Each structure stands twice: as structure tokens, then as C-alpha cells.
Amino acid sequence: MKAKELKQKSKNELTHLLLEEREKLRQMKFDLVARKLKDMMQICKTRRNVARILTLMKQAK
């Protein structure tokens, strides 16, 4: 998700999105160990999304 799209969301939406992204990242790590994950870049993209969300949440304070 782009930073511009994230800036338009409320704090509650960002919190909910953060929880979803972290759960998605956790599941991808399990899939990686089980050799089910096909695209390794998904982990990097999800980590970046988590960082973007956290950055916007801290800036909103």
C-alpha cells in the first residue's frame, strides 16, 4: 500500500491494518519454513508496509 493511501486512513483503520499486516507476515514466515512460500519478496513488501504504517502512526501523535 502506498504512503499516500495510508495517510487518508484514520488511526483506528491504521491500527486494524497493522494487525492484519503483522498476522500476514507471521503466516508468511511459517510458510517460508515449510517451503510453501513461492515469492520471497512478499515478506520484504509486508515488512515495509508495517514500517510505513508505524511511521504514520507516530507522525500522527
Provide the pLDDT confidence category of residue 61 given band limits of 50, 70 and 90. Answer: confident
**Rg of the Cα trace of the chain?**
13
**What average pLDDT is seen over the chain?**
93
Grid coordinates in use for 59? 507522525
Burial track 10-27 (b if 16+ CB lie within 10 A, e otherwise): eeeebeebbeebeeebee
With bands split at pLDDT 50, 70 and 90, how would you rate the model's confidence at 30?
Answer: very high
CA distance linking residue 31 with residue 4, whole number of Å: 30
Quote the pTM value. Answer: 0.88
Q: What is the pLDDT of residues 31-57, one digit of tens each?
A: 999 999 889 999 999 999 999 999 999
Q: Which three cell numbers stand for residue 26?
A: 507471521
- C-alpha 46/C-alpha 35 separation (Å) is 18
